[in-house]
Amino acid sequence: MAQCCINPSILSADFVNLEAELHRISNADAVHVDVMDNHFVPNLTIGLPVVKRIQEVSPVPLDAHLMIADADRWAPGFADAGVASVTFHAEASIAPVKLARELRARGAKAGMALRPGTAVEPYLDMLTELDLLLIMTVEPGFGGQSFLDLTLPKIRRARAAIDGSGARVALQVDGGITEETILRAAEAGANVFVAGSAVYGAADPAEAIDRLRAAGKR
C-alpha cells in the first residue's frame, strides 16, 4: 500500500471548468468527489449523473465520498458507475457490513467514514470488510474548515487496530489538510489525505500535490 496518497477534493475546484480542473491534478492518486444531499449534511453538491460524467473524463481514479442519507439504497449505484472507491458514512447505514460487501461485489473498493464525534471502536470488528476507513477531521458538509486536532487520538487508535488486524485498509483523513496539518495526521497513522483548498487554492495545484505528498511521508 502506498505510504502517502493525495486525493484532492473537487469541492474547491471551479465547477464551471471541471474537466480542465481535473487535468490540473493528473499527478494525484485519486480525485475525491464529495456527494452531499442536503439531508445527511446541510449542503447540496452533485449526484450520480454528474459523477458518471466525471468518471468519463477524469485522468485519475474517482474516490467518491457519499455524505448522503440512506446509503444502503444509494451507494451501490456509484459502484455500478465504475467509481474506483465508494465511501459511505457509518452513521447513514443500517447494515454497513452488507453494504461494504455489496460495493466490493460490484467492483468498487469499500470505504466507511466516521464523523469527528463518532467512536471508531464499534466498527473495528469489520475492518476486514473494508478497503478504506475515513476519519473526518472536520464536520462533514463544507470545505475550507480548520483541522480538528481532537481527532488525532482516534486516528492513532484506528491505525493500531488496522496494524493489529493485519487487514490491508487505507486510513484516510479529510478536512483541513495543509502542509502543516498533514504531518500531524501522518504521524498519527493516516496514509491517504484529502485536500481541497490546499490544492485548488494554490497557483499550481500539481505542485501543491507534490509538496503535500513530500510533507506527508513519515
Active site residues: 34, 174
Q: Where are the alpha helices (DSSP H) in 48-180?
A: 48-57, 71-80, 96-105, 152-165
Answer for the pair 104, 110: CB distance below 8 angstroms, yes or no. Answer: yes
The x, y and z cell numbers of residue 140, run together, are 462533514
Q: Which residues contact 44 (CB under 8 A, 6 or more apart)?
A: 36, 37, 38
- Dihedral angle computed from the Cα positions of residues 119, 93, 38 and 31, in that order, rounded to the nearest 10 degrees: 80
SS3 label, residue 15: helix
| Residue 163 identity (one-letter amino acid) | D
**Residue that has been written with the C-alpha cell 471502536 in this structure:** 121
Answer for the pair 76, 98: CB distance below 8 angstroms, yes or no. Answer: no
Answer for the pair 147, 179: CB distance below 8 angstroms, yes or no. Answer: no
End-to-end alpha carbon distance in the chain: 14
Phi-psi region of 106 (alpha: psi -120 to 50; beta: other; left: phi over 0): alpha
